[in-house]
Amino acid sequence: MTLYGDFLDESHRRMHKWHQYFPAYETHFKRFQNRHVTLFEIGIGEGGSLQQWRRYLGPFAVIVGLDIYPRCKQVEEDQVHVRIGSQTDLAFLAGVVAEFGPPDIVIDDGSHLQPHVNATFHFLYPLVAKNGVYLVEDLHAAYWPDHGGGLRAPASFIETAKTVVDAMHADYVADGAGRTPEGDRTTSVHFYDSVVVFEVGERRVMQNSTTGNPALFSNEWAPPGHTTDSFHHVVAEALSGLQVPGPAMQAALPAPAQDLATELQALQTEVTLLRRSTSWRLTAPLRAIGRLFRRRASPA
């Protein structure tokens, strides 16, 4: 039984879900099935969702629902616990973590008010267990001014999620500017329609290496009908259009042209690397040019 199939069954307590959420749930929660995991869901409604997580995750899961309405206590049952309090009450959240331990999964389906979503995330996300998941849903509300959001509004949780993407890449920015604890413990951020999912890990120093036998690719290769020197001349001519204006000329250009000049400067740097490299990927354009000349040199 899939989560979506279970959702369509009418025998459980009522719940409301957007149908496009289910593939995201399956993608990020499947690995937790039949394991000892703790799930926090903020926003209980009528309790159907809590029941669904219990059925989906299996007999070892601890399901904890958080809500401000005392009537939600009626949905407690085996494996399902309910605690009453506000998602912005940090002392309340700390007490829940102290009682049940760090959550492996957090689902924020609470008020959808952007200040609330942000406050809960900034407090709970650092406490999620390593290899856990933090999922925020109903983020169409992030675009609604009456929920504290709006398109590119700084308080929108969508904008918060974008800053985590930047923080994940802080090691590639001069002096590590923008590095945050949240970025350090994030291995990936997934954007879906109205849902953002953060996969939790730990910071590690990024490494890269080049493998393979360099003798298997020759920078002296030339297509039929060309010498090495003549083909190098052809390639140089093909790349000659990527000339970048000097700093003085760039300063005199209008803003759009300055942006273009900056892009050309970056391209010129890439071309320089390409011409010096034995990397298969960087030399792909040269091989493409070679294939073009081979086709032209082939008899019709």
Q: What percent of the chain has pLDDT over 70?
A: 79
Shared-domain flag, residues 138 and 258: no
Q: What percent of the chain has pLDDT over 90?
A: 59
pLDDT at 257 over 90: no
Domain termination residue (choose one: 200, 235, 268)? 200
260-264 mean pLDDT? 66
Out of 14-18, 229-233, 257-261, 272-276, pick the least confident: 272-276
For residue range 185-222, list pLDDT tens digits in order: 999 999 999 999 999 998 877 788 899 999 999 888 89
Please enumerate in sequence order all residues whose Cβ is within 8 A of that of 273, keeping only pairs 6 or more positions apart, or say none.
282
For 128, counting Cβ atoms within 10 Å of its Cβ (0-12 exposed, 13-18 middle, 19+ buried), the class is buried
Out of 51-60, 119-128, 251-260, 288-297, pick the least confident: 288-297
Q: Is residue 207 a part of any domain in this protein? A: no
Shared-domain flag, residues 98 and 229: no
pLDDT at 246 over 50: yes
The domain of 227 spans 214-297
Other Cβ atoms less than 10 A from the Cβ of 91: the count is: 7
Q: Is residue 269 a part of any domain in this protein? A: yes
What are the φ and ψ backbone dihedral angles of 152, each rounded to 5 degrees?
A: 60, 20
DSSP string of 53-88, one letter each residue: HHHHH-TT-EEEEEES-GGGGGG-BTTEEEEE--TT
Shared-domain flag, residues 28 and 176: yes
**pLDDT value, residue 207:** 82
d(CA 69, CA 85): 8
Which stretch of DSSP H or E encloses residue 200? strand 195-200
Shared-domain flag, residues 109 and 8: yes
Average predicted confidence (pLDDT) for the chain: 86
Active-site residue list: 112
Shared-domain flag, residues 160 and 71: yes
State the CATH number of the domain containing residue 62. 3.40.50.150
pLDDT at 151 over 60: yes
Which pLDDT band holds residue 93 (cuts at 50, 70, 90)?
very high
| Residue 125 one-letter amino acid | Y
Q: Is 176 left (phi over 0), alpha (psi -120 to 50) or beta?
A: left
Shared-domain flag, residues 166 and 232: no
**pLDDT value, residue 278:** 47
Q: Is residue 7 a part of any domain in this protein? A: yes
Q: Is 243 helix (H, G, I), strand (E, B) or coil?
A: coil
pLDDT at 67 over 90: yes
**End-to-end distance of the chain based on CA atoms, in angstroms?**
59
Q: Which residues of 247-269 are buried (b: 16+ CB within 10 A; e: fewer)?
A: eeebeeeeeeeeeebeebeeeee
Q: Is residue 120 a part of any domain in this protein? A: yes
d(CA 72, CA 47): 7
**pLDDT value, residue 282:** 47
Question: Number of structural domains, the chain?
Answer: 2
For 214, counting Cβ atoms within 10 Å of its Cβ (0-12 exposed, 13-18 middle, 19+ buried), the class is exposed
Please enumerate in sequence order all residues whose Cβ is within 8 A of that of 98, keeping only pairs 6 or more positions apart, or say none.
none
Comparing CA positions, the residue from 123, 153, 116 lying closest to residue 138 is: 116
Shared-domain flag, residues 167 and 70: yes
Q: Is residue 98 a part of any domain in this protein? A: yes
pLDDT at 273 over 50: yes
Looking at per-residue pLDDT, the higher value among 266 and 131 belongs to: 131
Shared-domain flag, residues 238 and 187: no
Looking at per-residue pLDDT, the higher value among 111 and 172 belongs to: 111
**pLDDT value, residue 272:** 57
Shared-domain flag, residues 240 and 263: yes
